[in-house]
Chains A and B, each alone.
Chain A
Amino acid sequence: MATTTGTTSQATPGSLPPSVFTLPQTAQLEALYTIIRDRTTSRGDFLFYSDRVIRLLVEEGLNHLPVVPKTIETPTGSKYEGVGFEGKICGVSILRAGEAMEAGLREVCRSVRIGKILIQRDEETALPKLFYSKLPEDIASRYVLLLDPMLATGGSAIKAVEILKEHGVPEERIIFINLIAAPEGLVAFCTKYPALRVITGWIDKGLNEKAYIIPGLGDFGERR
């Protein structure tokens, strides 16, 4: 391929927990992140290019779902040994930024059911607290694509998984889909849930004193 791999802010793969999968770090992907990180990027471009990354992430996430052998006949009359999709899926977005990933999800998984979880920091305890959740009734029998574009400290993601587990979803059937992660958050999240798979597009340098991801892309929900 005529591409070079840039690792401007990517942590070395060796230091990652084994359940973390990143997209291939092509120059093209770096160019996509350059657009969505740029503070001068218009809302329209931000939408368009973040959707492109989200589709790639969802495609990568779906590869972790099981398939079964399936033989079919083609219109030319030939037999073809292929595979069929196995298992039902649903999306769960962590409000409010996660909602912005739903359109991208539905472009790849047509009319997929989408549950929602609202988690905010409790003013008194400073801990993440569940404010609202609405999930498909049969979620316990589904694979769950958990959507949150930014993983900073990992607090709300950890809380969201806790809620999914309360609803009977086993850890190994949850795939967390994420655009940008801070190494601190990744470590905290994966240590807590080692069987859960994380698909992230880019791992950034770290967090600043306000717990923003650096270099990051600002407030994802705000920019959409």
Chain B
Amino acid sequence: MLGEELPKLYDAEEHRSNSSQSFQARKNILLKTHGRPPWYDEDGLPVCDAFVIGIAGGSASGKTHVARQIVKSLGSVPTVVILSQDSFYKYHTEEEIALAHANRFDFDHPDALDMPMFAACLADLKACRQSNIPVYSFAEHQRLDETKYLYGASVIITEGIMALHDPSLRALYDLKVFVQCDSDLMLARRIQRDVKERGRSVEGVLEQYLRYVKPAFDNFVLPTSRYADIVVPGSNNSVAIDLISTHVRRQMNERARHFRKNMACTSIDKCLKPNDNHEDWNVIVLPQTPQLKGIYTTLRNEKTSRQDFIFFVDRLATFLAEKAMELLPYRDKVITTPTETAYSGKEPDVKHICGVSIIRSGGPLEKGLQRVLSDVAIGSLLVQSDAKTGEPLLLHVMLPKCIRHRRLAVDTWVFLLDAQIGTGASAFMAIRTLLDHGVQQDHIIFVTFLVAHNGGISVLHKAFPKVRIVCGAVDEGLRETWLEHYHSEGEGHHYGDGRKVWIVEPGMGQIGDRYYL
């Protein structure tokens, strides 16, 4: 998941270790130093795959060290996944497990690994899709039922003795690295590590080495060095690592996109049609009843107390959620009433449904959704704009199970919640994230209080024409300003000397602040 600490990494061959479980947990991880910038263009399509590095080399050759050093020197790259081949050991039979417990199963052979699954997971991650990678237990010598969810890496480092062995894996790498190390040095390191850290005898280590490790290295590992783009020495390799990270950084920079400016200030006229054409709607505005106008007047008024603001936001959110529910498909259903009468009614024709709220200002819509869908799962996305560039950054992803798993996501309806659509940058990023997970575009219903007429909605609609937007009001203006000029209490000092923000006019002010602070 996002947000884990830079871990201490261990080498791939954990099978002989008694205490390997805790090491394993740290292996497949997503590291981030800051948010993830847009990985898609103005049309909403991903512009680039993640950059994938494969690192192979003998056991105790220093692959993990190389991987760790690359991560360290990449520094500025937002999200890096380190994927270990250990996760992809096959599901074993009873006999194999018995052999494994007796140290008589050859884990160093390529056949021990589920290469098709390894390649499928890596292909998903490379294509910016989520992946649920298997979890392998070294204590049980078995693949567990659980999986580990990974999403959103811009750099993926795959490491393992067989990392360059399978052609389907090799086809996915942007950079292939082989860590070259003398056999005697590898053996020396191995003895030292296994005796010291894993409490094994020298005889045991040597027997293992001669029976499995050495033949595997000679037959399967060393020959793959010819596929490598770069061969890195197993020690004193800082120059090689510097070369690699410079290369990766340059590749990443070429892929970066700055497109926020292009999104603001085009007109929504094309996609917001008058109320007579139902079919082409992608923006559904609540009927402008006297009560609705009254609610908006209260919410827009800067003099409205926080208490009133919260109450009317909850009330409006409930109403918006009810409207959004109308957009679901329904099918016929016949029931019997307590008066023993048959009644032919309807029920929603949906398999899974959930909410996803864009933190923080999607939060005020959550209560409304919960009043309409009891015990609905609500996930969250944290999108913040970079103080310097104004570019949106994806900082945190926490999605419900029915989106995390691709096979469920295709049948999932999502109510995406955010207080307003101004530039549309965070809406754009959130929708792209859902699509990356396999959610269908026409299954996304964006629920919001306000849409800025001159804002990013036209770009949003052009990129994602099937996403429907339910709102209560469409405002005229979108203007860039400094936050400190109109900050309400509590805001401002978080950002020092202020920063550029886009505001909707007349708008409702900073809805999140008014609701929470």
Contacts and interface: CB of A to CB of B under 8 A. Distances in A.
Interface of A: 1-4, 6, 8-9, 26-28, 30-31, 33-35, 37-40, 45, 48, 51-52, 55-56, 59, 62-63, 65-67, 70, 72-80, 82-85, 107-108, 110, 208, 212-219, 223
Nearest to A33: B345
Interface residues of B, number: 55
B507 A27 contact: no
Given A38-B336, A55-B318, A83-B294, A9 B346 contact: no
B374 to A, nearest CB: 5
Contacts of A214: 339, 341
Interface in B319-346: 319, 322, 325-330, 333, 335-339, 341-346
Nearest to B293: A83
B510 A75 contact: yes
A72 B319 contact: no
Contacts of B303: 72-73
Nearest to B338: A218
B509 A74 contact: yes
27 contacts: A1-B326, A2-B329, A4-B330, A26-B326, A27-B346, A31-B330, A34-B335, A34-B347, A38-B336, A39-B336, A39-B338, A45-B374, A52-B372, A55-B318, A55-B371, A59-B291, A62-B291, A63-B290, A67-B293, A73-B301, A74-B507, A74-B508, A76-B503, A76-B504, A76-B505, A83-B297, A110-B311
Interface string B490-516: 000000000000011111111000100
The 4 tightest CB contacts between A and B, nearest first, are A75-B509, A218-B338, A82-B297, A34-B345
Contacts of A67: 290-291, 293-294
Most buried by B among A51, A80, A213: A80
A223 B338 CA distance: 10
A9 B343 contact: yes
B339 A82 contact: no
A77 B319 contact: no
B444 to A, nearest CB: 13
Given A27-B326, A52-B372, A215-B337, 5 more contacts: A9-B343, A28-B325, A52-B371, A74-B301, A80-B300
A216 to B, nearest CB: 5
B40 interface: no
Contacts of B348: 28, 31
Contact of A82 (B293, B329, B371, B372): B293
Contacts of B182: none
Nearest to B477: A78
Contacts of B328: 2, 28
A103 B156 CA distance: 53
Most buried by B among A4, A66, A213, A215: A215
Interface string B296-328: 110011110000000100010011001001111
Contacts of B339: 208, 212-216, 218
Contacts of B322: 28, 52, 55-56
A59 B503 CA distance: 30
B8 interface: no
Given A65-B290, A75-B486, A107 B345 contact: no
Contacts of A74: 300-302, 505-509
B289 interface: yes
B486 to A, nearest CB: 6
B284 to A, nearest CB: 7
Given A33-B345, A107-B315, A72 B329 contact: no
